[in-house]
Chain A
C-alpha cells in the first residue's frame, strides 16, 4: 500500500457570479495522511463539496494541484441516489459494473457486505421500498465494493435520524479499520466529526482557507463512558471556537 499522503496544494477555485468571480477555495493547502479518518468541517457553502468533487475527479482543479499518488477513490454522496430500476444487490454492484462486468465472486462479496450492513432480507428489494437509512447503507456498500483506497463522503448522514446515523457511524468505523481505508468525510455536524475522525480540518467561510487542523487520539468507541464523552465535548468546543473565528 502506498503511504504517500493525499496532497492539496494552492488549490484555488472561483465561480462566475453577477458581482464578478466568486472565490470558493483560496489557495487551500491540505495534507491528508493515508489510512486516516479525516473530516472537513466548515460553514455551509464554503466549498467543501467542491473540494470533494475535485478529489473524486468529477471536477478539474483550475489552479493548484491535487495529488492522490494513484489512490483509487469512491464517493458516497449526500443523497443515496440509487438506480430505481435495480434491486438492492444490483445497486450495490453498480459501482463495480461501471468498470467491468461483475463476476460471481463480486456478487458473493456484495451479498456478504449487505448482510453485514443489515440488508440481508432486502437483497432483491426495489429502492422505493427502502427507508432513508437502508438506502444510505446500500450507497455505502456500493462505494466499498469497488475496493477504493480513499472513500470520499459528502455529508452522507445528514438526512438520517439519530439512531440510523449512529448505527451507520459504527459500521463505517468498522469498515475503515478492516479495509485499511482512507476516509475523507465532509460534514457540518460537530459531534459526528469528533466521534469519527482522527484528523479534523476546520475550513473558513468563502473564500475558504484551512483555519485549524486538529489531531485526535481518543480511543474508540468514543460515546462510551463519562470520561470519553467529556473528551468528545472538549473537541466539539474547540471546533465550535475555530468555526466562529474562521
Chain B
C-alpha cells in the first residue's frame, strides 16, 4: 500500500516545487529575501547555528516541556474523560466548566499562570498541558459513551469481573478515540509550549524565535518555524502509524475523494 501510494509522491513533489519557487522568487528579487528569507538562506542559517550551542539547548528545553505536557495531558484527559463518560452526574456537574474553559482561548490564562507559578518551566508545562488535555478529554468521553452496551452485557452474562470488563471491553473500545485525541493534542501541546515561551520565558525555541526576530534575523526565525513544523508533523505521523498498527481490526474507512 505504501509503495504504491501516489498521494505521497504528489505531496513530496509539491513541497519541492514550493521550495524551488520560493528560492527563485527570492533570487530574482521578486520578493525581498531579507523579509521572507529563502530555502538556501535557511540552510545557511542552520549550518551556522548548528554548533552545539544555545539553539540546541533551547530546542531541548522546548522538547522537555512538550514531552512532559503531552504525558500529563494524556493522563488528565483519559482520567477525567473516563470519569465523565461513566458518570452522568459528573458530566452534568463538570460540563459547564469544561465547555467554558474549552471555549476560552487558553493563551489569555498565561498572565494568571505566571502570576501563580512564576516564570519558569512549571508555567510553560501548565499552559501546554491545559491546551493538550482538552482534545483527549473530549474524545475519551465520546469513546466511553459510544461503547456498545451489548458488549458490556455480554461480558456480564459470562460472569466477567469489573476489572476484566475494563481490560477486555472498555479499553480496547475506547483506544481508537484516545489515540485520535492524542494525535490532535500533539500540535496543541506544542502550540502551548511555544506561546508560553513567546510570552514569558528566557529559554526555549519560542523565546529564541522572538530573540531572532528582534534582531531581524529572519532566516533563523524561519529555520525554527520549519523545524517545529517538521517535528510536530513527524509526531502526528508517528501517532497515526501507531493507530494503524493497533487498530488493524477496524473495517477500512472509504476515503472521500481528494483526501
Q: Could you tell me which A residues sit within 8 Å of B by CB distance?
A: 56-58, 74-75, 77, 79, 81, 83-86, 94-95, 97-99, 126-129, 146
Contacts and interface: CB of A to CB of B under 8 A. Distances in A.
Given A98-B155, A98-B160, A98-B164, A81 B148 contact: yes
Given A79-B150, A81-B150, A83-B172, A128 B249 contact: yes
A84 B175 CA distance: 12
B251 A83 contact: no
A94 B168 contact: yes
B157 interface: yes
Contact of A99 (B150, B156, B159, B168): B159
Interface string B74-110: 0000000000000000000000000000000000000
A90 to B, nearest CB: 10
B158 A83 contact: no
16 contacts: A58-B153, A58-B156, A58-B157, A74-B157, A75-B157, A77-B150, A81-B148, A81-B154, A84-B250, A97-B164, A97-B168, A98-B155, A98-B158, A98-B159, A126-B251, A146-B158
B150 to A, nearest CB: 5
Given A97-B168, A128-B251, 17 more contacts: A56-B157, A57-B157, A58-B153, A77-B157, A81-B148, A81-B151, A83-B172, A84-B250, A85-B172, A85-B247, A94-B158, A94-B168, A97-B164, A98-B159, A98-B160, A127-B249, A129-B251
Contacts of A99: 158-160
Interface in B209-259: 247-251
Contacts of A85: 172-173, 247, 249
Nearest to A139: B154
Interface of B: 148, 150-151, 153-160, 164, 168-169, 172-173, 247-251
Nearest to B175: A85
Nearest to A97: B168
Contacts of B173: 85
A83 B148 CA distance: 10
Contacts of B248: 126
A195 B156 CA distance: 31
Contacts of B169: 83
Contacts of A77: 150, 153-154, 157
Contacts of B155: 98
B249 A84 contact: yes
- Which residue, A56, A74, A86, A98, has most C-beta atoms of chain B within 10 A? A98
B73 to A, nearest CB: 25
The 9 closest A-B pairs by CB, nearest first: A98-B158, A98-B160, A128-B251, A95-B158, A85-B249, A85-B172, A75-B157, A81-B150, A126-B249
Contact of A128 (B158, B168, B250): B250
Contacts of A126: 248-249, 251
A122 to B, nearest CB: 14
